[in-house]
C-alpha cells in the first residue's frame, strides 16, 4: 500500500518557538490516521504544512510520492479546528459559495449539496440564515462542505470538539463510510476512545517531535506489559502452586458465582502456551486474556516518558 | 483568478443587496443638500433675541442716528453718568452700555462698549459699522461739499473679472470659484470614501478573522487572493455607489437645471459659452455666477471629472484599503487597530488640509508636490483637476499612485498571510516589520 502523504523531516520555526522539529510521517492510502498529542504539540501546524497553508522551513511534503502542488489542494478536504461561517448569509448560498471555491461548478455543487442535505435530514435549513444555526448545526454544514468535492484526502482538525454524542457518532460513521469509499482520513484529536474505534494508524506528537508512530494494533500490543486477566472456578488459594510461573497482581473471589478473577504478570521470557497449560492443569479455567493497554494509557505514558528524557 | 472572482461576487452581493446600502445611496445626496442648507434654514427660523444696549452719548451726535434693529435695541440715556448706568445695567437684563465720548467725530476711538454678558463679534461689528457710517457722514458734512455722497456713489466701480482658458479650442469660460468649489466637493467625497470604505475593509477582515471563516477558506484560497478579493469586492461596492451618484449628477446637470432656471440667466450662460465677445455683452449680471453655472451645466466637463474621479478614487482606495487590510489582519479587535491606523489617517488628513490650500492657488509648489506623492495625490488631485491642469501631471500622478498601490498590496499580503492566524496579542510595528520579512 502506497502513501498518500509523506512528510519528510518537516521543521517549522516561529519567532519564539519551534512548532515542528524534524517530524516525518507516512500516511498510507485508505487509512484513518490519527494525529495525537497534547495541546500546543504542533498538530495543527503539521496539518497546515500538509495543507500548504504554512510553508515549512525545512523538509517537504509528498502527495502520492510527488512534491505537493497547489492543484493537489483541490483533492484535499480540510475541516479546521476553529471554524466559522459568514453569519449573515443563507445556509444554502453559503454552502454553494464554499463548494465553488473548491472547484465545483455551480450546478454540480447544487446537486451534491441537495443530496447531502437530504442525507442529514436538513433540507429545510437551505434558506435559513447562518446566524440562526446552533453550533452543532453549523458543524454539520462545515462537514458537508469539507467532503462535498469528494477529496481523496480528508483532514479533520479536532472534528469531535463541539459535537454532542449523537452527532459525534454520526460523524464517526461518516468518516468510516468515506474511508470505505476510498478516501484517506487524517484527524487530530484528544479523544482517545475515538482513536481506538476508528483509527488504523496514529502518530503521537509531543513538544514538536514525533514520539510514536505506527499501526494502532501494533502499538497497543508492543506496549503490552505481559499482563493477563484470568478467571477460574475455585478460591484464590487454588492459584498458589503457580507462583513460580507467574506473579499474581491482584485477585478477587466472588462467593456467589464461585469464580475468581485475577490479573497476573508473566515474565517476558516465559512461554505463554506453557503458562496457559499449567494454569489449565491447576484450576478450572474460564478465560485467559491479554490486557492490552488503552491508547489513553499509552498516550499518557508516552508523553510523560518523553518529558522525563 | 476564479476564486478572487467568487469572493468579489460574494462581497458585492452581501453589501449591495442590503437595504441599508440602497437607502444610504439614495439618501446621502439629500442629506448633503440638507446639510449645506441647514445653516441658512436655522438662521432663518432661529433669530437671536434682541439685545438691549443703553447708550450714553456725550457728543449728542451719534445717539439720535443709531437705528435699532432685530438684533440690537438702542436705549438712549439722556445726560447719563457712566458709573451709575453701569451699576444699574448690571441689575437689569440688558446686554450692556455703550459709551460715546464728546469728541467722537474727531477722535473715533473714544467709544467703549461695556457688556454684562460675553460679547459677540456680530454685535460689535453691527455697532461699529453704524457708528462709522454716522461719523463718516458727519465728517463729509463738515467738508461742506454739496451732494458729495451721491458723487462718491457714482464713482464707485465693481469689477467682475471673467476668465477664459487660453489655448483651448474655443476660449472656454472658466470659473475659479466653481472650479475650486467642485474641487473641494470632490476632494471631500474622496476623503469620505477612503476613510469609510477603508475602514469597512479593515472591520470586515477583523470580523472574518474572529468568526474563523478565514480558517475555513484558507485551505482552498491563497491568502493573497482572499485579501485582493476583499479589497476589490468592497471597491466594487464603492464604485457602484459613486456611479449611482455620478449618474444622478449628470442627469441633474443636463436636465433639471435648464428646466428650472429663468430664461435670462440661461441666455447669459449661452453667451458665456459662445466666447468672450458675447460675454461682454451680458450686462449687469453676476458673471462669476453665470460662469459657474455654465461649468456645472457642461455635461462633457462633468463626465470628464467623474471619469478622473473614478480613476483617482480607485487608485487611492486600493492603496489605502491595502493598508487597512494589513491592519485588520494583524489585530483581533477594532479598538486595537486605533494605534495602527494613526499613520494611515495622518496622510489622509494632511491631504485634506492641502486640499483647502488648492482653493487659493491650484499650482503652488506645495500643492503640486502633494498631488504627485501617492499618499496625498488622490485627494489633492481632486481639488486641482477641475481648474484644469496639464495632462502629463495627471498621468504621472496616476502612474505613481498605481505603482505604489502594487508595492503596498505586496507588503500587505505578507502581513495578512501571517496576521490572520495570530490571535490574542496586539502586534507592534516592529512585529509587523518582522512579518513582512518573514
Q: Are B207 and B96 within one domain?
A: no
Let me know whether B186 and B314 are in one domain.
yes
- Answer whether B265 touches A (CB < 8 Å): no
- Let me know if residue A300 belongs to a domain: no
Q: Same domain, yes or no, for A172 and A98?
A: yes
The answer to whether residue B425 scores a pLDDT higher than 70 is no
CB of B434 within 8 Å of a chain A CB? The answer is: yes
What ipTM did this prediction achieve?
0.76
Give B246 to chain A, closest Cα distance, Å. Answer: 30
pLDDT of residue A308: 63
Question: Residue A85: its chain B contacts at CB < 8 A?
Answer: 211, 213, 216
> Which CATH number do you get for residue A283?
3.30.70.260
DSSP secondary structure letter of residue B361:
-
Q: Would an 8 Å CB–CB cutoff place B3 in contact with chain A?
A: yes
**Across residues B351-365, what is the average pLDDT?**
83
- Highest mean predicted confidence (pLDDT) among A2-16, B149-163, B176-190: A2-16
A76 vs B: CB within 8 A: yes
Is A102 in Cβ contact with B221 (below 8 Å)? Answer: no
Look at the pTM and tell me if it is higher than 0.90.
no
Smallest CA-to-CA distance from A174 within A200, A146, A201 is with A146
CB contact under 8 A, B220 and A80: no
From the CA of B360, how many Å to the nearest CA of chain A? 48
**Closest chain B residue to A105, measured at CA:** B2
Q: What CATH number has the domain bearing residue B124? A: 3.40.190.10
| Contact (CB<8Å) A80/B212 | yes
Question: Does any CB of chain B come closer than 8 Å to the CB of residue A138?
Answer: no
Task: Give yes or no: residues B139 and B62 share one domain.
Answer: yes
Mean pLDDT of B269-287: 56
Give the gap in angstroms from C-alpha B317 to the nearest C-alpha of chain A: 25
Query: Do both B222 and B314 map to the same domain?
Result: yes
**How many Å lie between the alpha carbon of B427 and the closest alpha carbon of chain A?**
13
H/E stretch holding A77: strand A76-79
Residues A195, A74 share a domain: yes
What is the distance, to the nearest Å, from the Cα of residue A122 to the centroid of all Cα atoms in its chain? 28
Q: Which residue has the higher pLDDT, A4 or B144?
A: A4
Predicted confidence (pLDDT) at residue B170 exceeds the cutoff of 50: no
Q: What is the pLDDT of residue A153?
A: 92
Q: For residue A76, give Cα distances in angstroms to A157, A171, A183, B217, B397.
A: 13, 18, 10, 13, 46
Asked whether residue A252 falls in the same domain as residue A170, the answer is no
Q: Is A15 on the interface with B (CB under 8 A)?
A: yes
Q: Is A81 helix (H, G, I), strand (E, B) or coil?
A: coil
pLDDT digits (tens, 9 = 90+) for A65-104: 888 888 888 888 898 888 888 888 899 999 999 999 888 8
Per residue in A26-70, pLDDT (tens digit) is 999 989 999 988 888 888 889 988 888 888 888 889 988 888 888
At residue B171 the predicted structure's pLDDT band, cuts being 50, 70 and 90, is: very low
Summarize pLDDT for A186-210 with one digit per residue, the tens.
Answer: 988 877 777 888 888 989 888 888 8
Asked if the structure places residue A304 within a domain, the reply is: no
Q: Are B121 and B209 in a shared domain?
A: no
**What pLDDT, on the 0 to 100 scale, is given for residue B309?**
75
CB-CB under 8 Å, B3 with A74: no
- Is the CB of residue A139 less than 8 Å away from at least one CB of chain B? no
Q: What sign for the dihedral angle of Cα B385, B390, B391, B397?
A: negative
Averaged pLDDT for residues B367-389: 85
Q: Does A50 touch chain B (CB under 8 A)?
A: no
Q: Tell me, yes or no, whether B138 and B197 share the same domain.
A: no
Phi, psi values for residue A289, rounded to 5°: -130, 145
pLDDT of B294 higher than 80: no
Distance of residue A208 Cα from the nearest chain B Cα, in angstroms = 18
- Please give the sequence-ordered ranges of beta strands (E in DSSP) within A234-298, or none if there are none: 246-254, 259-266, 284-290
Which of A176, A200, A221 is the last residue in one of the domains? A221
Residue A302 lies in a domain: no
pLDDT-wise least confident of A22-26, A186-190, B41-45, B257-261: B257-261
Residues 197-236 of B with CB under 8 A from A: 208, 210-222
Q: Which of B94, B128, B144 is the last residue of a domain?
A: B144
Q: Is residue A245's pLDDT more than 50?
A: yes
Q: How far is B24 from chain A (nearest CA, A)?
A: 19
CA distance B283 to B261: 18
- What pLDDT does B241 receive? 86
Is A101 in Cβ contact with B3 (below 8 Å)? yes
Q: C-alpha distances in angstroms, B114 versus B61, B65, B71?
A: 20, 20, 17
Confidence of residue B259 (pLDDT cuts 50, 70, 90): low
- The mean pLDDT of B399-423, rounded to a whole number, is 88
pLDDT for position B169: 44
**pLDDT tens, residue by residue, B316-341:** 989 999 999 999 988 888 888 888 88
Could you tell me if A74 lies within 8 Å of chain B, comparing CB atoms? yes
Report which of residues B409 and B422 the model is more confident about: B409
- Residue A109: its pLDDT value, please? 93
Chain A residues touching residue B222 (CB < 8 angstroms) = 70
A180 and A283 inside one domain: no
pLDDT band per the 50, 70, 90 thresholds, residue A185: very high
Residue A187's DSSP bridge partners are A34, A156
Q: How far is A102 from chain B (nearest CA, A)?
A: 6
Q: How far is B403 from chain A (nearest CA, A)?
A: 28
Q: Is the pLDDT of residue B272 over 80?
A: no
Are A241 and A148 part of one and the same domain? no
> Is residue B393, in this structure, part of any structural domain at all?
yes
CA distance A123 to A131: 17
- Do residue A142 and residue B213 have CB atoms under 8 angstroms apart? no
The answer as to whether B125 is a domain residue is yes
Domain co-membership, B139 together with B180: no
CB contact under 8 A, B212 and A76: no
Give the residue from B129, B144, B159 where a domain finishes. Answer: B144
Cell readout for B251 is 442627469
* 3-state class (DSSP) for residue B11: helix
More confident residue, B252 or B221: B221
- Select from B203, B199, B208 the least CA-distant residue to B238: B199
* Residue A257 belongs to a domain: yes
Q: Is the domain of B87 the same as that of B209?
A: no
- Whether pLDDT at B274 is above 60: no
**What percent of chain A is modeled with pLDDT above 70?**
99
B325 within domain boundaries: yes
* Per-residue model confidence (pLDDT) at position B281: 52
Q: In chain B, what residues touch A89 (CB-CB under 8 Å)? A: 10, 14
**Which of A70, A83, A88 lies closest to B14 in CB terms?**
A88
Q: Which of A101-115, B2-16, B110-124, B150-164 comes out lowest in average pLDDT?
A: B150-164
Domain end (from A187, A221, A255): A221
Query: CA A292 → CA A226, B81, B89, B237, distances in Å?
Result: 9, 116, 105, 63
Domain count, chain B: 2
Percent of chain A with pLDDT over 90: 15
For chain A, the domain total comes to 2
Give the residue carrying C-alpha cell 495543527.
A44
Q: Is there a contact between A15 and B215 if contact means CB atoms under 8 Å apart?
A: no
Q: Please state, in angstroms and rounded to a whole number, the distance separating the CA atoms of residues B147 and B152.
A: 9
Whether B195 maps to a domain, the answer reads yes
Asked if the C-beta of A90 comes within 8 angstroms of chain B's C-beta atoms, the answer is: no
Cβ of A86 and B14 within 8 Å? Answer: yes
Kindly give, in sequence order, each residue whose CB lies less than 8 Å from that of residue A15, ignoring residues fewer than 6 positions away.
B434
Q: Do B6 and A87 touch (CB under 8 A)?
A: no
Q: Name the 3-class secondary structure at A76.
A: strand
From B421's Cα to the closest Cα of chain A, the distance in A is 10
Contacts of B424 in chain A (CB under 8 A): none
* pLDDT for res A39: 81
Question: A7 and A50: one domain?
Answer: yes
Chain A / chain B CB contacts < 8 angstroms = 56
Q: For the residues A20-27, what does the mean pLDDT come to?
A: 90
Q: Residue A142: list chain B partners with CB under 8 A.
A: 216
Q: Is the dihedral of CA A225, A230, A235, A238 positive or negative?
A: negative
For residue A116, what are the domain limits?
Answer: 3-221
Residues A190 and A238 in one domain: no
Please tell me what DSSP assigns to residue A294. Answer: P
Chain-centroid distance, C-alpha A135: 23
**Three-class secondary structure assignment of B44-73:** HHCCCCCEEEEEEECCCCCHHHCCCCCCEE
A97–B contact, CB cutoff 8 A: yes
Mean pLDDT value across residues A243-270: 82
For residues A194 and A216, membership in a common domain is answered with yes
A135 and B CB contact within 8 Å: no
**Residues of chain B contacting residue A70, judged by C-beta atoms under 8 Å apart:** 222
Same structural domain, A198 and A51 = yes
pLDDT(B438) > 80: no
Residue A180's pLDDT band, with cuts at 50, 70 and 90, is very high
Domain boundary, last residue among B90, B122, B144? B144
Could you tell me if residue A298 is inside a domain? no
Is B6–A76 a contact, with Cβ atoms under 8 angstroms apart? no
Residue A307 lies in a domain: no
**Proportion of chain B above pLDDT 70, given as a percent:** 81
* Region of poorest pLDDT, from A147-161, A240-254, B35-49, B353-367: B35-49
State residue B399's pLDDT score: 94
Chain B residues within 8 A of A145 when measuring between CB atoms? 216
Q: Which has the higher per-residue pLDDT, A302 or A145? A: A145
Interface contact B219-A87, CB threshold 8 A: no
A138 and A280 both lie in a single domain: no
* b/e B381-409 (16+ beta carbons within 10 angstroms → b): bbbbbbbebeeebbeebbeebeebbeebb
For A199-203, B51-55, B180-184, which range has the lowest pLDDT when averaged over its residues?
B180-184
In the predicted model, what is the mean pLDDT of chain B?
79
* CA atoms B256, B260, B261, B267: torsion sign: positive
Distance from the B212 Cα atom to the nearest Cα atom in chain A, whole angstroms: 5
Kindly list the residues from chain B whose CB atom is less than 8 angstroms away from the CB atom of residue A15.
434
Looking at the fold, whether A90 and A215 belong to one and the same domain comes out as yes
Domain limits at B357? 174-232+307-437
Q: What is the pLDDT of residue A293?
A: 83
Question: How far does the CA of residue B338 sit from the closest CA of chain A (Å)?
Answer: 25
Same domain, B55 and B195: no
| Contacts B10 to A, Cβ<8 Å | 86, 89, 97
* Number of neighbouring beta carbons within 10 Å of residue B341: 20
Q: Give chain B positions within 8 Å (CB) of A76.
A: 219
Q: Which residues of A touch B211 (CB under 8 A)?
A: 84-87
Same domain (yes/no): A195, A282: no
Nearest-angstrom CA–CA distance, B392 and B397: 8
Amino acid at each position: 500500500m502506497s502513501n498518500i502523504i509523506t512528510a519528510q523531516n518537516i521543521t517549522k520555526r516561529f519567532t519564539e518557538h519551534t512548532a515542528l522539529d524534524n517530524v516525518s510521517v507516512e500516511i498510507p492510502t485508505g487509512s484513518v490516521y490519527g494525529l495525537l498529542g497534547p495541546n500546543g504539540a504542533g498538530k495543527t501546524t503539521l496539518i497546515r504544512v500538509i495543507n500548504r497553508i504554512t510553508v515549512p522551513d525545512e523538509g517537504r511534503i509528498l502527495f502520492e510520492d510527488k512534491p505537493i502542488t497547489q492543484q493537489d489542494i483541490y483533492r484535499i478536504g480540510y475541516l479546521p479546528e476553529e471554524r466559522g461561517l459568514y453569519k449573515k448569509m443563507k445556509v444554502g448560498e453559503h454552502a454553494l459559495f464554499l463548494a465553488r471555491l473548491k472547484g465545483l461548478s455551480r450546478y454540480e455543487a447544487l446537486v451534491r449539496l441537495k443530496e447531502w442535505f437530504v442525507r442529514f435530514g436538513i433540507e429545510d435549513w437551505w434558506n435559513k440564515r447562518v446566524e440562526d444555526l446552533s453550533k452543532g448545526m453549523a458543524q454539520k454544514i462545515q462537514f458537508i462542505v469539507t467532503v462535498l468535492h469528494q477529496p481523496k484526502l480528508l483532514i479533520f482538525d479536532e472534528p469531535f470538539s463541539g459535537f454532542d454524542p449523537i452527532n459525534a457518532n454520526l460523524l464517526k460513521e461518516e468518516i468510516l463510510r468515506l474511508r470505505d469509499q476510498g478516501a484517506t482520513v487524517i484527524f487530530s484529536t484528544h479523544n482517545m476512545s475515538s482513536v481506538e474505534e476508528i483509527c488504523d494508524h496514529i502518530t503521537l506528537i509531543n513538544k514538536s517531535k514525533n514520539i510514536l508512530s505506527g499501526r494502532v494494533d501494533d502499538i497497543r500490543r508492543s506496549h503490552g506489559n505481559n499482563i493477563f486477566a484470568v478467571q477460574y472456578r475455585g478460591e484464590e488459594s487454588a492459584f498458589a502452586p503457580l507462583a513460580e510461573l507467574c506473579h499474581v497482581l491482584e485477585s478477587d473471589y466472588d462467593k456467589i458465582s464461585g469464580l475468581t478473577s485475577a490479573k497476573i504478570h508473566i515474565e517476558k521470557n516465559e512461554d505463554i502456551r506453557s503458562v496457559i497449560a499449567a494454569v489449565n492443569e491447576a484450576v478450572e479455567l474460564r478465560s485467559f486474556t491479554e490486557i492490552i493497554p488503552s491508547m489513553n494509557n499509552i498516550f499518557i505514558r508516552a508523553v510523560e516518558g518523553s518529558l522525563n528524557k | 483568478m476564479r476564486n478572487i472572482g467568487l469572493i468579489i461576487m460574494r462581497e458585492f452581493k452581501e453589501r449591495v443587496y442590503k437595504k441599508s446600502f440602497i437607502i444610504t445611496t439614495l439618501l446621502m445626496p439629500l442629506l448633503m443638500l440638507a446639510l449645506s442648507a441647514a445653516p441658512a434654514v436655522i438662521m432663518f427660523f432661529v433669530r437671536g433675541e434682541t439685545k438691549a444696549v443703553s447708550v450714553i452719548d456725550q457728543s449728542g451726535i451719534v445717539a439720535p442716528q443709531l437705528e435699532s434693529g432685530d438684533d440690537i435695541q438702542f436705549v438712549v440715556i439722556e445726560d447719563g453718568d457712566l458709573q451709575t448706568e453701569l451699576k444699574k445695567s448690571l441689575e437689569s437684563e440688558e446686554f450692556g452700555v455703550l459709551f460715546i465720548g464728546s469728541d467722537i467725530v474727531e477722535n473715533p476711538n473714544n467709544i467703549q462698549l461695556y457688556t454684562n454678558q460675553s460679547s459677540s463679534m456680530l454685535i460689535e461689528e453691527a455697532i461699529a459699522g453704524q457708528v462709522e457710517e454716522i461719523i463718516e457722514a458727519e465728517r463729509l458734512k463738515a467738508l461742506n461739499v454739496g451732494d458729495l455722497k451721491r458723487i462718491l456713489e457714482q464713482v464707485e466701480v465693481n469689477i467682475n473679472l471673467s476668465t477664459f482658458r487660453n489655448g483651448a479650442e474655443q476660449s472656454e469660460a472658466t470659473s475659479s470659484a466653481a472650479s475650486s468649489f467642485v474641487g473641494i466637493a470632490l476632494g471631500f467625497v474622496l476623503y469620505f470614501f477612503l476613510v469609510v470604505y477603508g475602514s469597512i475593509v479593515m472591520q470586515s477582515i477583523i470580523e472574518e478573522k474572529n468568526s474563523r471563516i478565514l480558517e475555513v477558506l484558507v485551505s482552498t484560497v491563497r491568502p493573497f487572493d482572499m485579501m485582493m478579493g476583499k479589497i476589490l469586492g468592497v471597491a466594487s461596492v464603492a464604485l457602484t455607489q459613486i456611479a449611482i451618484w455620478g449618474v444622478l449628477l449628470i442627469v441633474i446637470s443636463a436636465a433639471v437645471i435648464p428646466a428650472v432656471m429663468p430664461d435670462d440667466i440661461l441666455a447669459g450662460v449661452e453667451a458665456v459659452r459662445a466666447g468672450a465677445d458675447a460675454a461682454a455683452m451680458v450686462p449687469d449680471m453676476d458673471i462669476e455666477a453665470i460662469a459657474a453655472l455654465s461649468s456645472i451645466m457642461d455635461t462633457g466637463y462633468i463626465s470628464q471629472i467623474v471619469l478622473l474621479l473614478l480613476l483617482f478614487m480607485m487608485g487611492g482606495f486600493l492603496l489605502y484599503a491595502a493598508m487597512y487590510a494589513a491592519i485588520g489582519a494583524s489585530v483581533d479587535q477594532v479598538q486595537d487597530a486605533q494605534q495602527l491606523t494613526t499613520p494611515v489617517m495622518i496622510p489622509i488628513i494632511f491631504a485634506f488640509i492641502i486640499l483647502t490650500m488648492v482653493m487659493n492657488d491650484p499650482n503652488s509648489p506645495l500643492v503640486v508636490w502633494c498631488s504627485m506623492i501617492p499618499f496625498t495625490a488622490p485627494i489633492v488631485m481632486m481639488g486641482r483637476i477641475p481648474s484644469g491642469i496639464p495632462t502629463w501631471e495627471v498621468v504621472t500622478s496616476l502612474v505613481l499612485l498605481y505603482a505604489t498601490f502594487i508595492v503596498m498590496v505586496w507588503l500587505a499580503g505578507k502581513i495578512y498571510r501571517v496576521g490572520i492566524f495570530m490571535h490574542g496579542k496586539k502586534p507592534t510595528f516592529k512585529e509587523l516589520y518582522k512579518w513582512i520579512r518573514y
